[in-house]
Structures are given as structure tokens and as C-alpha cells.
Structure 1
Amino acid sequence: MLRIELIVDTRAALGEGPLWDVQEQMLYWIDSYGPAVHRCDMNGRNRCSWPLPEAVGSMALRRNGGALLSLKSGFHALDFATGDVTRIVDPDPGKPRVRMNDGKVDRRGRFVAGYMDTEDRDPLCGLFSLAPDHTLQKLDEAIICSNGPCWSPDGGTFYFADTTRKVIYAYDYDCATGRVANRRVFASFDGLRGYPDGATVDADGFLWSVEFDSGRLIRFAPDGAIDRIIGLPVNSTTSICFGGRDLDIAFVTSMARPIGGVAPKEREAGGVFAVYGLGVRGLREPRFAG
């Protein structure tokens, strides 16, 4: 039976990037404008947090401990023991109107993250891959708002959303080199109520996209057809991951900050939700290999 629970009742300005760690059996997520990294167990208990020096778009756990962050000014490392944040590289310097946004790790341990225009209107942004040896590779450009990077179960297809354009793209992905090719439209949100935001792929190869400004989860089949739509308690939903002992719980973040001067009307906005009973399982998220 489908059941939705608010497991963390926090008014996060911009809750984002939920990440379930199979090794620790813990849920991580970020508040982009907190800015901070947060962690809790599958029931929302045993919380701890790490404050950050600037806006954060996404995070990945590292194989050797700690986290990799996409902050406003580029890729950084976070030491959980000390809270220290150390800069690695700024992939696209000299653009004051952009900041790094959503990112995830591919099957070979690279971290892929893109930028967003903070005024949400011009194609100023690039999509970058950081290899374990900290080599940078630019994958795409002329993006307005990067969101929802994820891969098919075999790693051969890369999905990526430009939220402002209301489209999810699919690319051919070369796991050996990390290069992309053959970009095409996977799904358009023009006929839907909201915008594509965070996303993940389940074990059956279906893509789950969080529809921002609508409060829905949309499951797309591998051919881009809509398979299911699940309504959520708040419209300001932002991102999703699968977690829990069997990777069968969908954890969904949301935001409480106003958009266009209008604050979300729901009291639970900014909280973290758990969706039970979907009847599907997710995939284990890789750790950054560097």
C-alpha cells in the first residue's frame, strides 16, 4: 500500500540532493541555501549537520571517506571529521551569475555536475565531469538550469534535465571515457503542470523525475512514455533517491523559500518525505573514486 510520511520536519530553504548510503544505511541531503549537508537514518532520526561556506548544489560520498561537493565556486572536498571544506577546482570561473547545481557519480566513480543561471533565464551554463584524478571534462553547454543527472542501469545512457526549458535529455554515455554523444529529447514537460527537477533511475531502468511546482513524482519508461504519476503533500518538491535496507523507499526533498515573492503554502514545505509501497527498487549510488 502506498504511504507517504514526513520524516524530517525542517523548513529547509532549498532541500536538495537526497543520497542514500548503502554502506552506512544513512540518508544524506543538502540545504542549498542553508547552506549545509545533513544526515539521518531511514526514519529521520539521529541527525547531524555540517555547515558550508557558500551555496551548495549537490554532493557525493567518497570511497576513502568524506564528501565531494559542488559549491557555488566549484568542486570542493568536505571532511566529515573536522568539517573542513577544501577547494579542488572551479570548472567555469569568471561568471558571477552562475552557481553549480545538481550532480551525481557515474558507474566508474566520476562526479558529473552542471551549473545554473541564478536569474533562471539565459543559457550561460556548462555541464562538467570530474574524474577521480581531478581531471575536468566539459560534457555540454548553453544550459539554463542543470538538474536530474542519472544513468541507465548499464551506465550506457545518461539522462539530464534543463529545468527552465522543461525538458529531459538522453545521451549515449561511454563509461570508459566519460564522454557523451547523440543528445536527444527523452521527455518534454510542456504538457505537464511543472518542471523537471531531481531524478533517479530504478532497477528496472525507469526514470523517476520530481516535478517541481507541482508536487508530483513522474515515472518514465525507457522510451520516454509516462508510466506512473504519484502526488505528494507539497508542491515545492525538488529531488529524489531510493533508499532503505531494500532500496525500496523513495526519499524526496522539498523547499520552503519563496519563489517570485510567494512562499509555499504548505506547512510541511522544506521537509524530507519517505514514500513507501511503490513496488520498485532503486540502484546503489556509486561513491566518487577520488
Structure 2
Amino acid sequence: MRIEVLVDVKTILGEGPLWDVESERLFWIDSKGANIFRTTHRGTEVRAWDLPAMIGSLAIRKRGDGAVVALSDGFHFLDFATGEVALINNPEPGMPTNRLNDGKVDKCGRFIVGSMDTLEAGANGSLYRLDPDLTVHKLEDNIIVSNGPCWSPDGGTFYFCDSWSREIWAYDYDLVTGSISEKRTFATVDTVNGAADGATVDAEGCLWSAQVYDGKLVRYTPDGKVERVIEMPVKKVSSVMFGGPNLDVLYVTSMAKPPLPRNPHDGIQRGSLFAIYDLGIKGVPESRFAA
């Protein structure tokens, strides 16, 4: 195994790595900097888009050349060619201390996104589903910081966490309706200063969790047991995603500056996009938003 800096752009709050298998490009975001970045698997041809508000996550669209983005003020379409954004729906009007955060697309092309309290204090957040017909449905509430949505390889189990709950949850996921049920604790996060952040599932059904402020990536088996821990060069790791032409490279985002004054000191590689090679493990292709 080897860990390398793929792109050093010093993202303030790097998040949401997303490998698009159709374009063979890696996307990631700077939530606080309000940017989307794109690169090749080699870290070349870097492109960036500026956004009008903080971004929590994005999904590539099946139709046209663009994405659906979860901004602080709701769901929007982004046109890659022009950089223009258009509002779809704001599910939380009148909640100025909240913003949309982490999100992913299920196998049927629905965008599942959670919101968070920007002060990371009150359970004001919720989990939403944006359907391809652009309707929004609330799936869960009473969340402080929504993070880590992802699915088992067959799509039947949904994983999700409230970062400060010290737990990662599993739900039964209905691929026909997009509903969740049977919430249970998948894993308890063993940390003193850290928290579960972004996550992904590999082809073997194991869940990878970035444990922010601890500088660790933890791989859990499908029954919730810790299989391995990878120590990263920086503490503020935020999210993970398998990608590359063979889906065998693990990409890791990080923060140059935390949104709140927790563990402010980190190495000179803070804010970098990392790539981990030679793990001998492959990921699962991510779906596009079906609109």
C-alpha cells in the first residue's frame, strides 16, 4: 500500500470524492470554498467551478453535461458548460443555521442527501430523497451532522450516520420506493476526538469510513467489525471513494481548515486530495442522478 498526494489545492473543507465511470473523471468539492473540482485518475487536467453558496455534495446527471448539487440553500442543477446554477427545491426554508451536506445516488438514480446544523450543536438536520421527478421526500430527522450515506453492493442496505452520535447506522432500503426501515447500529465508532465522516462501500461489501480529526480510515466488514485501520498523513480526513479505470484506487479528501475550532493544527499536506494504491480491493460504480 502507498499513499500519495494526487492534487494539492488546499481545500478549506474538502469533501465528497466522486468517481464517474462514464467520463473517467474524479470530482470533489470544497464545501466552504464553494467549489467543485474535477481531474483525471492521474491528477491532471484539473478543472474547477465556482458556486454561489456552500456545497455539501454533488451527483452527475444522466441527461446532458451537468450535475445536481446540494448547496446550503437547497438542491440545484449545475451546467458544466456555462457554470450556471438553477434552483430545484429548498427543503429547509427559514432555517438559516442549517445547510445540505453529504449525499449519494442510489441504484435507481435518486439523490439521498442529509442536512446539518452548521454550529454542530442542535439536532436540526434531516435526511432527504430527491427523486428524478424532482420531488423531495424526508426520510429521517433529529440529526446534528448528516454524513456517510452509501449502500451495500446489492443496494438493499443503506448506511448513514450522524457524525457526533458515535455510531454508523444501517437500514433496510427499498429500491422500488426509495424508503428506509429497520434502523439499527452497524458499528460503534471507537474514537476520543474524532467522528465518522464520509463513507463508501467496496465490492466485497465492506464499509470504509473516514474518521475526521483522528486521521484514520476504518474498514468495517459487512457485520460491522473493524477489518483494518489506515493512518493518514493528516488528521482532518473527510471522505473516501474508490475510483480509477479499474476502481482500485481509494481517493481521500481532507480539510485545510476545520469549520469549527477542533484540532486546528495539521501537517503541510492538509487540504490535499490523496490517492491510496495497491490495496488489492475494488470499489462499486457510483450511479448518476436519473434526470
Counterpart in the other structure of 1:198: 198
Aligned residues: 289
Which residue identity is paired with 1:174? D
With structure 2 as the length reference, what TM-score do the two structures score? 0.97
The residue correspondences of 1:119-130 to structure 2 (distance < 5 A) are: 119-130=119-130
Q: Does the 8 A contact of 2:61 with 2:288 survive in 1? A: yes
* Matched-pair identity in %: 49
Which residue identity is paired with 2:29? I
Q: Does the 8 A contact of 2:14 with 2:254 survive in 1? A: yes
Q: Does the 8 A contact of 1:248 with 1:281 survive in 2? A: yes
Q: Does the 8 A contact of 1:121 with 1:164 survive in 2? A: no
Q: Does the 8 A contact of 2:201 with 2:284 survive in 1? A: yes
Q: State the alpha-carbon separation in 2 of the partners of residues 139 and 265 from structure 1.
A: 36
Q: Does the 8 A contact of 2:213 with 2:263 survive in 1? A: no
Counterpart in the other structure of 1:62: 61
The residue correspondences of 1:69-148 to structure 2 (distance < 5 A) are: 69-148=69-148
Matched, 1:43 2:55: no
Q: State the alpha-carbon separation in 2 of the partners of residues 261 and 195 from structure 1.
A: 11
SS in structure 2 opposite 1:28?
A: strand
Q: State the alpha-carbon separation in 1 of the partners of residues 192 and 243 from structure 2.
A: 27
Counterpart in the other structure of 2:221: 221
Counterpart in the other structure of 2:5: 6
SS in structure 2 opposite 1:164?
A: helix
Q: Which runs of 5+ in 1 are unaligned?
A: none
Residue-by-residue CA offset, 1:39-77 (whole Å, 9 max, x unaligned): 011121101100000000000000013001000011000
Q: State the alpha-carbon separation in 1 of the partners of residues 198 and 275 from structure 2.
A: 15
Q: Does the 8 A contact of 1:256 with 1:264 survive in 2? A: no
SS in structure 2 opposite 1:253?
A: strand
Matched, 1:231 2:231: yes
Offset of residue 193 of structure 1: 5.3
Q: State the alpha-carbon separation in 2 of the partners of residues 269 and 190 from structure 1.
A: 23
Q: State the alpha-carbon separation in 2 of the partners of residues 193 and 120 from structure 1.
A: 15
With structure 1 as the length reference, what TM-score do the two structures score? 0.97
Q: State the alpha-carbon separation in 1 of the partners of residues 239 and 288 from structure 2.
A: 19
Counterpart in the other structure of 2:289: 288
Q: State the alpha-carbon separation in 1 of the partners of residues 201 and 233 from structure 2.
A: 22
Instruction: Calculate the aligned-residue CA RMSD, in Å.
Output: 1.1
Q: Does the 8 A contact of 2:236 with 2:266 survive in 1? A: no
Q: State the alpha-carbon separation in 2 of the partners of residues 270 and 246 from structure 1.
A: 26
Q: Which moved more, 1:52-61 or 1:190-199?
A: 190-199
Q: Does the 8 A contact of 2:104 with 2:149 survive in 1? A: yes
Residue-by-residue CA offset, 1:92-112 (whole Å, 9 max, x unaligned): 211111100000000000000
